[in-house]
Structure 1
Amino acid sequence: MTDSAVEKVTVLAGGISHERDVSLRSGRRVVDSLVANGIEVDLRDPDASLLGHLTATRPDVVWPALHGASGEDGALRGLLEALDIPFVGSSAAAARLAWDKPTAKELAHRAGVRTPRGITLSHDAFRELGAAGVLAAIADEHPVPVVVKPARGGSAQGVTVVESVDQLPRAMVDAYTYCDDVIVEQKITGTEVAVGVIDTGDGPSALPAVEIVPRSGFYGFEARYNAGETTFFTPARLGAGAQEAVAETAVTVHRALGLRHLSRVDLIVDAAGTPWFLEVNVLPGLTETSLVPMALDAAGFELGMVYAALAEKAVRDHR
């Protein structure tokens, strides 16, 4: 790139999380977009040689395309900060806040955003207090339908929409498979949307909201990554007031958690047009079926130019 501070980018993809395959697809798409924009790219699957490689090669920017804990819990980002290497995405501290869904919900709530009522239970508490008693208390305080999900994780893995009380035990077991802490929260009925937030230098701004309509009625793992399983509408089929509300809510969440460069905020818009915050992703999927690339395209952006601009922003922020 002419007059660019970014000539060489290392993209990290793969890892050992449950979302490895998704990460590899996201990483390849990032690589292709950056290369098309004239940037030299080194694609690496992180392993024991990674830190030594980064220290030796000193790329201008690292782009973590690692989904799941390996890329989103803040640990890798903290190491990149220790190595004094710029990287695309939120800081280690902000990523830790966003990665923990109960914490992210509380921070969003304090910023004035509506969030579903719920409870977070550790696996130890669930076991030590007696599953039967705990389940009875949950069912009494949080009547079905509820959503049961791991407190940390992505791609809807371990998530169950519970429509009857007898489904609750299995839903808890499934969620605990992915995380030692589980959220049981009120199911909000409405239009499911995802709002990407980007900041290439002029402050965070919301992309067009993407409306999500899965064939199965639930936007689970298969519906996210298999073409034809979900219908998307970009921009979402919302009234002007609701469109403005979801954009404002997404930027509010992004700011409240101290995020930077790129995020995706998942919301449900109820019948009154009120957005409810579900969770935020500091490393949204960038595959061929992912929502942020879809929103960028709908907004008229060229992926390579946006990704290059984000890499440039990472360098400027580092300085």
Structure 2
Amino acid sequence: MTRVAVLYGGISAEREVSLSTGAQVIAALRQSGFETDPIDVGADLGAVIAALMPKPDAVFNALHGRFGEDGAIQGVLDWLGIPYTHSGVRASALAMDKAAAKALFIAAGLPVARGRMVSIADLETADPMPLPYVVKPVNEGSSVGVEIIRGGDNRRADIARAWRFGISALVEEYIPGRELTVGVMGDRALAVTEILAVANSFYDYESKYADHGSRHIIPAAVHPDTYARAMDVAVAAHRVLGCRGASRCDFRYDDTIEDPGRLVLLEINTQPGLTPTSLLPEQAAHLGMSFPQLCTWMVENAACRA
């Protein structure tokens, strides 16, 4: 397998992140000896399909957000019979739909935050649950649109009126404490990283992608039972949704209560970022795997569900 098409860019709110991921991946694959065809994905699906002809040996899916990690492009690639990196249609669609993924996590006995779907009209009218709580779009990534409503906060109605992510939102209890993340490759959890947002109160879009927006502590200095539990839950979540290749689970860890504290699974990302500030490559490097080796592993594990 020598010729790899790299899909990046896209038309979601995470286009700039995807462009960064794609640039990194293209350079890494070329360093590893692959022939690469960069394809900057736009709104014209026909042009994307045309760019994939003649068919490459594999597609490296470096898209983020809607239409890139929600099962849409995965279905196109399955239809064309082209192997691609990361998860298939079903797992991608489930993971992107936070409410659907959460229902499966609950059924599997995994620890999640209390919450429910709320109409934006109802959110504008009144608090849907006791403060503090988190409001998030059900199908966006990279913390796009996430808001924390705290005691004394009068932004709720303004947030609802300015909402641009559909007619409803996922509202969950706010979990105090620390931000953790665990990458998974295949059936193996890599490590637990603690994320410290530098400039902002939580790990938002700016903290994720701005230079020096956050600090990463790997391995995370948490209770040993919590460390092991986070690794186990990440692999379990990966399996519950039927993920393939690499994924990354995000957690909140409330260590303000009796040891070992409360660990809560927030969500799973089937297209982990591969930018210079991303967490999955950092965890792979922690275990001795270079970025070109990580990208090569992804290509070697590309598959087609046709």
Give the TM-score normalised by the residue count of structure 1.
0.89
Q: Secondary structure at the match of 1:21?
A: helix
Q: Alpha-carbon deviations, 1:167-193, whole Å to 9, x = none?
A: 32233345x323433111101112211
Change (3 A) 1:130 1:306: closer
In structure 2, relative to structure 1, the CA distance for the partners of 1:219 and 1:173 (3 Å cut) is: farther
The one-letter code sitting in structure 2 at the alignment partner of 1:193 is: L
Is 1:113 aligned to 2:110, yes or no? yes
Partner AA of 2:14 in structure 1: E
- Secondary structure of 2:41's counterpart equals coil
Distance, in Å, in 1 between the alignment partners of 2:12 and 2:137 is: 14
> Pairwise CA RMSD of aligned residues?
1.7
- Per the alignment, residue 209 of structure 1 pairs with 192
Q: What is residue 175 of structure 2 aligned with on the other side?
A: 188
Find the aligned partners of 1:224 and 1:259 in 2 and give their Cα distance. Answer: 23
Aligned counterparts of 2:35 and 2:220: Cα–Cα separation in 1: 36
- Measure the CA separation in 2 of the matches of 1:236 and 1:118: 27
Bigger helix fraction: 1
Aligned counterpart, 2:100: 103
Provide the C-alpha distance between the structure 2 equivalents of 1:299 and 1:230, rounded to a whole number of angstroms.
21
Q: Give the 3-state SS of the residue equivalent to 2:274 in structure 1.
A: coil
The residue aligned with 1:153 is 140
Task: Give 1:300 shift.
Answer: 1.3
Establish whether residue 58 from structure 1 lines up as the match of residue 55 from structure 2.
Answer: yes
Deviation at 1:155, TM superposition (A): 1.2
Q: 1:291 matched to which residue of 2?
A: 279
Name the residue aligned to 1:3. none
Q: Is the 8 A contact 1:249 1:275 kept in 2?
A: no
Three-state SS of the structure 2 residue aligned to 1:208 is strand
Instruction: Check 1:182–1:102 CA distance in 2 against 1; reply closer, same or farther (3 A cut).
Output: same
| Matched residue, 2:225 | 241
Aligned-partner SS, 1:197: strand
Structure 1 residues 166 and 63: alpha-carbon distance in aligned structure 2, compared to 1, 3 A threshold? same
Partner of 1:13: 8
Identity %: 35
Cα deviation, residue 122, structure 1: 3.7
Q: CA deviation at 1:130?
A: 8.6
- Structure 1, gaps ≥5 residues long: 1-5
Write the distance in 2 (CA, Å) between the matches of 1:154 and 1:179.
15
Cα deviation code 1:202-237 (max 9, x no counterpart):
xx1111111111122211111111121211101111
Q: Which runs of 5+ in 2 are unaligned?
A: none
Contact residue 157 and residue 220 of structure 1 kept, 8 A: yes
* 2:33 is aligned with 1:38: yes
The alignment of Structure 1 onto Structure 2 pairs a total of residues equal to 297
Counterpart CA distance in 1 for 2:79 and 2:40 is: 20
Give 1:121 deviation, angstroms: 2.1
Deviations 1:257-292 (CA, angstroms, capped at 9, x unpaired) = 110101111111222333211111111111000111
Q: Aligned equivalents of 2:48 and 2:273: distance in 1?
A: 22
TM-score, normalised via structure 2 length: 0.92
- 2:84 is matched with which residue? 87
